[in-house]
Amino acid sequence: MPPPAPRVPGILAGRRPTWLEIDLDALAANFRVLTEAAGGRPLWCVVKADAYGHGALDCSLTLESAGAAGLVVALPEEGIALRRGGIGLPILLSGPLPAGGAVPLLDHDIMPALSRVEDLRRLEDAAALSGHSASFHLEIDSGMTRMGLPPGHLEAFMEVAAGCSHCHLQAVFSHLASVHEPGDEAAQRQLERFSNAVRRVRELAQRDIPCHLASSPALCGFPQAACDMARPGLLLYGVSPAPTLQPPASLAPVLSLRATLVLLQEVTAGVPVGYEGTWASPTDTRLGVISAGYADGLWRDCAGRAEAILNGERVPYVGAVNMDLAQVDLGTRLSAHPGDVVTIIGRHGDAAISLEELAGRTGRTAYEWLTTLGGRVPRLTYKAGRLDHVWTPTGSLRMEC
């Protein structure tokens, strides 16, 4: 007998039964695991892109309670939203300094990442005019060739920094371009460039400025990058950054995606199914239509590549996934009824569909899967083992439980 199937939560009565479950207890446990993996070093936790689809405010509040040293966002508005939500942790803006000026960052106590003298001067001028004291992290281009100060420009940058009376250099960091293979030589070269740059910054500043380099992939396979602090993102949410890496075994997925069967169809052999008729069953079968599509984060080409879980068994997607619906082949023996819950991402009993599996089967990354989960899908957030509240990124549903 299969284990009891998940049920549609009663709070979704009258609404489309497609939802994400966010386990904040798992997030807090993952934070503790990664703190140990980082040798007890402080963790600056990446919560950009709505915490990779998990809900930036809820995740940030959980991480703050768990002991995070700081949070990392990519957009000014992401940091401002966290401040308005009551977050008191240091917040680092890893993206570019806004063209419109630094005043909104100063007003909300958000530290920018700087890599150009002109941005440092803009920050200093804004801080002087507003009467704020500003902190920033200096980003070094160690080989990513994206953002970051070229090491050859360090002296000029630090000379300007030394003349700033309102700006304070808090830390130095860089991004690893490739660390998905243990012992990656390119990563080792980046580490050497970064270490040399940090040493030079400390010499010029005449103080011991902390540094950070280790992202989630580095925490899995590049312990040399540990530095003074670590900067995990994807691993916090219980997902491995790449199949070549081995994350700590005790990490647990934070997110599950579920939908329901809305219709069963008897189909005879050879009948084309779905848009463009891209699939036809070789035998008589039954199809189940489920209440999720590519507008909800289920990629259109999952058919023929990926599977879902129904009543403890795997069932393959068939035909092209639609914007709002998808179809699975149930065969003729599996017991199924309209209203049964289908697990798209997550676990049902001993069966599980992980993001890592879906990424591998569809030729995409777990990052892409998470950050394209539909904004209209309700998020059911669980805390201390109980449903805490329900919300959607579009703001169309927010109910306290």
Residue 5 forms part of a structural domain? no
Based on the number of CB atoms within 10 Å of its own CB, is 389 exposed (0-12), middle (13-18) or buried (19 or more)? Answer: middle
Q: Among candidates 92, 83, 128, 126, which has minimal Cα distance to 112? A: 92
Is the Cβ–Cβ distance between 245 and 180 less than 8 Å? Answer: yes
Give the pLDDT means over successive 10-residue stretches in the chain (401 positions): 71 90 98 96 97 96 98 96 97 91 93 96 94 94 94 96 96 91 83 96 96 94 91 97 91 97 95 91 96 94 93 94 96 92 93 95 94 93 93 65 42
What distance in Å separates the CA atoms of residue 312 and residue 310, rounded to the nearest whole number? 5
Residues 219 and 276 in one domain: no
The proportion of the chain whose per-residue pLDDT surpasses 90, expressed as a percent, equals 81
Residue 375 forms part of a structural domain? yes
Residues 259 and 215 in one domain: no
Residues 223 and 81 in one domain: yes
- Residues tagged active-site: 48, 275
The mean of the pLDDT values for the chain is 93
Residue 1 forms part of a structural domain? no
Residues 64 and 165 in one domain: yes
Q: Residue 349: what pLDDT? A: 84
- Read off the amino acid at residue 228: D
Based on the number of CB atoms within 10 Å of its own CB, is 305 exposed (0-12), middle (13-18) or buried (19 or more)? Answer: middle
How many helices (H) and strands (E) would you count in the chain?
11, 21
Q: State the maximum Cα–Cα separation within the chain, in Å, rounded to a whole number.
A: 78
* Among candidate residues 178, 208, 237, the one where a domain is terminated: 237
Residues 33 and 89 in one domain: yes
What is this structure's pTM? 0.94
**Structural domain boundaries, residue 222:** 24-237
Residue 155 forms part of a structural domain? yes
Reduce the DSSP state of residue 338 to 3 states and report it: coil
* Among candidate residues 172, 206, 237, the one where a domain is terminated: 237
Residue 248 forms part of a structural domain? no
* Among candidate residues 210, 237, 264, the one where a domain is terminated: 237
What distance in Å separates the CA atoms of residue 47 and residue 73, rounded to the nearest whole number? 6
Residue 59 forms part of a structural domain? yes
Q: How many domains are there within the chain?
A: 2
Residues 258 and 232 in one domain: no
What distance in Å separates the CA atoms of residue 204 and residue 398, rounded to the nearest whole number? 51
Q: Give me the torsion for CA of 199, 200, 205, 209, rounded to 10°.
A: -30
Residues 15 and 29 in one domain: no
Can you spell out the DSSP letters for 149-168? Answer: B-GGGHHHHHHHHHT-SSEE
User: Tokens at residue 398, please?
Assistant: 């927010």
CATH number at residue 79: 3.20.20.10
Q: Residue 400: what pLDDT? A: 45
CA 394, distance to chain mean position in Å, is 18
What distance in Å separates the CA atoms of residue 217 and residue 197, rounded to the nearest whole number? 22
CATH number at residue 15: 2.40.37.10
Reduce the DSSP state of residue 375 to 3 states and report it: coil
Asked whether the CA dihedral 63, 65, 67, 69 is positive or negative, the reply is positive
Residues 49 and 165 in one domain: yes
Residues 182 and 284 in one domain: no
Residue 387 forms part of a structural domain? yes
User: Tokens at residue 171, please?
Assistant: 């830390």
- 107 phi, psi to nearest 5 deg: -60, -30
Residue 220 forms part of a structural domain? yes
Residues 260 and 233 in one domain: no
Specify the pairing of strand 341-348 against strand 326-329.
unpaired
Residues 44 and 161 in one domain: yes
Residues 193 and 265 in one domain: no
- 135 phi, psi to nearest 5 deg: -110, 155
Q: Residue 401: what pLDDT? A: 42
What distance in Å separates the CA atoms of residue 137 and residue 169, rounded to the nearest whole number? 6
